[in-house]
Chain A
Amino acid sequence: KAGVTQTPRYLIKTRGQQVTLSCSPISGHRSVSWYQQTPGQGLQFLFEYFSETQRNKGNFPGRFSGRQFSNSRSEMNVSTLELGDSALYLCASSPRTGDMNEQYFGPGTRLTVT
């Protein structure tokens, strides 16, 4: 089975712009979660989608949003980019939602905001 894929792998944006990142989960997986990884804050949970519905949200401002499509693919959007949004954004998929389900991570999208 193909793993989790994320596009693009690298992105450079300017402050104030918006960006959309894409994630394709493992075939058959219906849950997609997003995490932000930075040197200062480490790995932090952004949100989880399951069956096109946001099931859980981390402690991030409303500039961060996401959605999931009927084929389980997910996108996350960051509007009005700030320098502090520079990070590696990781997508993870799981067959089902729930605490016991292990998550499979993609390679990430490295976003640089200048």
Chain B
Amino acid sequence: AQSVTQLDSQVPVFEEAPVELRCNYSSSVSVYLFWYVQYPNQGLQLLLKYLSGSTLVKGINGFEAEFNKSQTSFHLRKPSVHISDTAEYFCAVSGSGRRALTFGSGTRLQVQP
């Protein structure tokens, strides 16, 4: 069975500082990895995805993530955050023909001025 662990439930950071949101997954088969963002009272918006190929994936709003197969990680990074990045971020995995996303518990990013 697949599972996703987001190691930090909350990450406070000052505006313009860099940030890394950590995500580890477990799966015995090939996986596809996603990061979604959820703003208050809204649905989920796809930030980026890893399907295959280059392990460094660039997404929207200046975010990027690196797939590390040996460490089974898919950490999300942004070199300089803005107040508007305050939201909840979810890492998700699919694969093995299940055709469903398995989500982590989420990380609340709080950007302070």
Mutual binders A and B: yes
A-to-B contact residues, CB < 8 Å: 4, 33, 35, 42-45, 48, 55-56, 58, 90, 92, 97-100, 102-108
Known contacts A42-B105, A43-B90, A102-B49, A97 near B44 by CB under 8 Å? no
Q: Which residue of A lies closest to B41 (CB)?
A: A107
Cβ of B101 within 8 Å of any chain A Cβ, yes or no, is yes
B-to-A contact residues, CB < 8 Å: 32, 34, 36, 41-46, 49, 51, 90, 92, 94-106
Interface-centre pick from A44, A103, A108 (highest chain B CB count, 10 A) = A103
8 intermolecular pairs with C-beta atoms under 8 Å apart: A33-B101, A44-B103, A45-B101, A90-B44, A99-B97, A99-B98, A102-B34, A107-B42
The distance in angstroms between the C-alpha atoms of A55 and B97, with both chains bound, is 11
Task: Please tell me if the beta carbons of A105 and B43 are within 8 angstroms of each other in the complex.
Answer: yes
Residues of chain B with a CB closer than 8 A to A100's CB: 32, 51, 94
Nearest 7 A/B pairs, CB to CB: A105-B43, A43-B103, A45-B100, A105-B44, A99-B94, A107-B43, A56-B99
Q: Which residue of A lies closest to B105 (CB)?
A: A42
Task: Please tell me if the beta carbons of A42 and B32 are within 8 angstroms of each other in the complex.
Answer: no
Q: Which residue of A lies closest to B100 (CB)?
A: A45
Residues of chain B with a CB closer than 8 A to A42's CB: 103-106
Which of these, B41, B42, B99, contacts A99 with CB under 8 Å? Answer: B99
The distance in angstroms between the C-alpha atoms of A85 and B46, with both chains bound, is 26
The distance in angstroms between the C-alpha atoms of A108 and B49, with both chains bound, is 22
Known contacts A42-B105, A42-B106, A99-B94, A55 near B44 by CB under 8 Å? no
- How near does chain A come to B44, taking the closest CB pair, in angstroms? 4
Task: Please tell me if the beta carbons of A104 and B46 are within 8 angstroms of each other in the complex.
Answer: yes
Residues of chain A with a CB closer than 8 A to B32's CB: 99-100
The distance in angstroms between the C-alpha atoms of A56 and B90, with both chains bound, is 22
Residues of chain A with a CB closer than 8 A to B102's CB: 45
Residues of chain B with a CB closer than 8 A to A43's CB: 90, 92, 101, 103, 106
- How near does chain B come to A69, taking the closest CB pair, in angstroms? 20
